[in-house]
């Protein structure tokens, strides 16, 4: 697994454009000078087609936001898809409100995240969690969800989406000064 996290455009920010014209959107991203893209799709286009497109544009898949239910219920299919893309970084983007109504549901989600992390790590993937303010506001037994999620995953498998990469990259981007 790589230590640095590459910088790329998050397709979530271009979701409307990408849904209408994925190839055109990626062409514009590459034309702006980006070398990487974090994937997000409302539905999965063919992996070989996406790989061919990103390769032809000189774009590298830096990571992908993958719906929690897909990671939980279709882990093997998700890993196969991302193996085809050459992507080793999977991001849980969000836990929907109906899946986190109370402490019992949050406890179950935390157990599931831990299991997803174990399964994906065995196949050489890194699992990230893109947290939001809800994980800092909502609690389980008086402790924020955020404080439960990260310790529940083995330290060697734990990454936070949005972490900056190497010091060299942070310095180049002016982050942390």
3-class SS letters over the chain: CCCCCCCCEEHHHHHHHHHHCHHHHHHHHHHCCCCEEEECCCCCCCHHHHHHHHHHHCCEEEEEECCHHHHHHCHHHHHHHHHHHCCCEEEECCCCHHHCCCHHHHHHHHHHHHHHHHHHHHCCCEEEECCCCHHHHCEECCEEHHHHHHHHCCHHHEEECCCCCCHHHHHHHCCCC
Radius of gyration of the chain (CA): 17
Q: Mean pLDDT in the chain?
A: 83
Q: Is residue 2 part of a domain?
A: no
Per-residue pLDDT band at 8 (split at 50, 70, 90)? confident
pTM for this one?
Answer: 0.81
**Residue (of 165, 169, 116, 170) closest to 1 by Cα position:** 165
What's the structural domain count of the chain? 1
Q: Is residue 100 part of a domain?
A: yes
Residue 106: give its domain's CATH number: 3.20.20.150
Query: How high is the pLDDT of residue 69?
Result: 96
Q: Is the pLDDT of residue 91 over 90?
A: yes
Q: What is the pLDDT of residues 27-77, one digit of tens each?
A: 999 999 999 999 998 888 999 999 999 999 999 999 999 999 999 999 999
Domain that holds residue 60: 9-173
Q: Is residue 84 part of a domain?
A: yes
Q: Is residue 85 part of a domain?
A: yes
What's the CA gap between 147 and 143, in Å, rounded? 7
**Other CB atoms within 10 Å distance of the CB of residue 128:** 23
Q: Is residue 3 part of a domain?
A: no
Query: How high is the pLDDT of residue 155?
Result: 56
As beta bridge partners, residue 38 has 10, 63
**Other CB atoms within 10 Å distance of the CB of residue 63:** 25
Answer yes or no: are the C-beta atoms of 89 and 125 closer than 8 Å.
Answer: yes
Q: Is residue 78 part of a domain?
A: yes
What's the CA gap between 113 and 160, in Å, rounded? 13
Q: Is residue 132 part of a domain?
A: yes
Q: Is residue 1 part of a domain?
A: no
Q: Is the pLDDT of residue 118 over 70?
A: yes
User: Which tops the pLDDT comparison, 141 or 13?
Assistant: 13
Answer yes or no: are the C-beta atoms of 61 and 36 closer than 8 Å.
Answer: yes
């Amino acid at each position: 697994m790589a230590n640095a996290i590459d910088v790329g455009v998050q397709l979530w920010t271009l979701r409307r454009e990408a849904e209408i014209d994925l190839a055109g959107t990626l062409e514009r991203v590459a034309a702006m000078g980006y070398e990487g893209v974090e994937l997000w799709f409302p539905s999965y286009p063919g992996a070989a087609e996406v790989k061919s497109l990103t390769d032809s544009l000189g774009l590298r898949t830096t990571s992908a936001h993958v719906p929690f239910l897909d990671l939980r219920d279709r882990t093997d299919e998700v890993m196969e898809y991302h193996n085809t893309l050459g992507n080793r970084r999977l991001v849980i983007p969000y836990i929907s409100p109906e899946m986190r109504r109370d402490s019992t549901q949050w406890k179950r989600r935390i157990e599931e995240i831990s299991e997803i992390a174990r399964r994906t790590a065995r196949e050489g993937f890194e699992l990230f969690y893109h947290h939001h303010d809800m994980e800092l506001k909502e609690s389980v037994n008086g402790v924020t969800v955020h404080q439960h999620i990260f310790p529940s995953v083995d330290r060697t498998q734990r990454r936070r989406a949005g972490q900056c990469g190497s010091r060299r990259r942070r310095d180049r981007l002016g982050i942390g000064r």
